[in-house]
C-alpha cells in the first residue's frame, strides 16, 4: 500500500468522526483522494513548471536560483533550509528564499507575494514551487544546525517565540505543542520541543489539507497556529516566522523529510 494511502486511511477515520454537518462531503473527498493519489502531486507538477517558466519584468525562469546548494540545485535543497545566506545577510526559509530569487532573477516585487492572499496569484505560485521543492527533498535527512551567528540568533529567537505567552488565553505554542499526548479535536498535537515531535511537525509540511482542499506551506501552517493562539496574523516570511521554522527544523535535524504531506 502506498504511504499516502495508509495515512489517508488513518486520518480518514478521524475525519469521519470529526465531520458532523458535512460527513458525506468529507467521505467523498477521501474517496477522491484515494482514487487520485495525494493531490499534492498536482501542485508539485505545477511548481516544477513554474520554476522552469520565464516570468516577470526580466522574463527569466528560476532555474538559476540558489537555494543554498548552488545555483539551480533543487535536489535536497529544502532539507537544509532555513539557513543563512550571505547575499541577503539573512536566515531564509524556502519561501523567503524564493522571493529573493524571484526579485533578483525575474524582477518581481516581493510585496506582491507578501501582501497577497493564500491560494491566489503569485502567493499560490510560491506555494506550488515550495511543494515541488519539498518533494525534491523527500527522504533526505534534515540538515539544519545553527553554525553562523545569525543562525544561532534565529534558533534563540524561534525558541523564545515558541514559549512566548500572550493573547486572551495566555497561550504560547508550547501550550498546545509542549507536552506529550495532547489532542485537539481528535488530532494528536506533536510535542515540538522534542526531536520525536518536532520532526513530525516539520518534515511533513508543505501538506495537502483534505479538510480545506488546499495545499498549505509551513508559512500558512504557522499563520493558522497564530490564529488558534489568538495572536495577530504574522507577516508572511517575517523574521519571526522564519525563526520559528528554524527552531523546529533544527530540532528535527537528522530526520528524513516526508514531503509533501497530506493532512486532515
- Residue 47 sits in the site that holds ligand HEC (CB under 6 A): no
- Residue 253 sits in the site that holds ligand HEC (CB under 6 A): no
Q: CA-to-CA distance for 199 and 202, rounded, in angstroms?
A: 5
Q: Which range, of 42-50, 91-99, 134-142, 167-175, touches ligand HEC by CB under 6 A?
A: 167-175
Measured CA to CA in angstroms, residue 238 lies from 90, 151, 203, 204 at distances of: 11, 15, 21, 21
- Residue 15 sits in the site that holds ligand HEC (CB under 6 A): no
Least Å from the CB of residue 16 to ligand HEC: 15
Q: CA-to-CA distance for 108 and 81, rounded, in angstroms?
A: 22
Tell me the backbone φ, ψ of residue 237, rounded to 5 degrees: 60, 25
Q: Which range, of 74-82, 110-118, 127-135, 198-206, touches ligand HEC by CB under 6 A?
A: 198-206
- Residue 184 sits in the site that holds ligand HEC (CB under 6 A): yes
- Residue 221 sits in the site that holds ligand HEC (CB under 6 A): yes
The yes-or-no answer on residue 176 being catalytic is: no
- Residue 173 sits in the site that holds ligand HEC (CB under 6 A): yes
Interface residue with ligand HEC, options 80, 92, 204, 217 (CB under 6 A): 204
Q: Read off the C-alpha cell for 23.
A: 460527513
Cβ contact 12:6 at 8 Å = no
Cβ contact 192:245 at 8 Å = no
Q: Read off the C-alpha cell for 35.
A: 482514487
Q: Which range, of 19-27, 72-80, 149-157, 200-208, touches ligand HEC by CB under 6 A?
A: 200-208
Place of cell 509551513: 218
Of 50 and 133, which CB lies nearer to ligand HEC in the complex structure?
Answer: 133
Cβ contact 66:101 at 8 Å = yes
Q: Which residues are catalytic?
A: 225
Interface residues with ligand HEC (CB under 6 A)?
162, 171, 173, 175-177, 184, 187, 189-190, 200-201, 204, 221-222, 225-226, 228-229, 244, 248, 263-264
Amino acid at each position: 500500500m502506498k504511504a499516502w494511502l495508509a495515512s489517508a486511511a488513518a486520518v480518514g477515520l478521524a475525519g469521519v468522526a470529526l465531520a458532523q454537518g458535512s460527513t458525506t462531503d468529507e467521505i467523498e473527498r477521501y474517496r477522491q483522494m484515494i482514487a487520485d493519489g495525494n493531490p499534492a502531486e498536482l501542485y508539485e507538477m505545477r511548481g516544477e513548471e513554474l520554476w522552469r517558466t520565464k516570468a516577470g519584468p526580466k522574463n527569466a525562469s528560476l532555474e538559476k536560483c540558489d537555494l543554498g546548494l548552488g545555483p539551480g540545485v533543487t535536489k535536497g535543497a529544502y532539507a537544509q533550509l532555513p539557513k543563512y545566506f550571505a547575499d541577503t545577510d539573512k536566515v531564509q526559509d524556502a519561501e523567503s528564499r524564493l522571493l529573493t530569487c524571484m526579485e533578483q532573477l525575474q524582477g518581481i516585487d516581493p510585496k506582491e507575494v507578501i501582501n497577497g492572499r493564500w491560494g491566489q496569484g503569485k502567493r499560490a505560485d510560491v506555494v506550488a514551487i515550495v511543494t515541488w521543492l519539498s518533494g525534491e527533498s523527500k527522504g533526505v535527512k534534515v540538515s539544519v544546525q545553527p553554525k553562523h551567528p545569525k543562525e544561532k540568533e534565529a534558533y534563540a529567537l524561534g525558541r523564545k517565540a515558541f514559549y512566548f505567552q500572550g493573547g486572551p488565553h495566555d497561550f504560547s505554542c508550547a501550550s498546545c505543542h509542549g507536552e506529550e499526548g495532547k489532542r485537539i479535536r481528535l488530532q494528536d498535537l506533536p510535542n515540538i520541543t522534542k526531536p520525536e515531535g518536532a520532526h513530525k511537525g516539520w518534515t511533513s509540511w508543505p501538506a495537502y489539507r483534505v479538510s480545506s482542499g488546499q495545499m498549505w506551506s509551513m508559512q500558512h501552517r504557522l499563520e493558522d497556529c497564530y490564529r488558534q493562539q489568538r495572536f495577530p496574523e504574522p507577516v508572511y516570511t517575517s523574521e519571526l516566522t522564519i525563526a520559528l521554522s528554524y527552531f523546529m527544523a533544527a530540532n528535527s535535524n537528522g530526520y528524513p523529510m516526508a514531503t509533501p504531506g497530506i493532512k486532515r
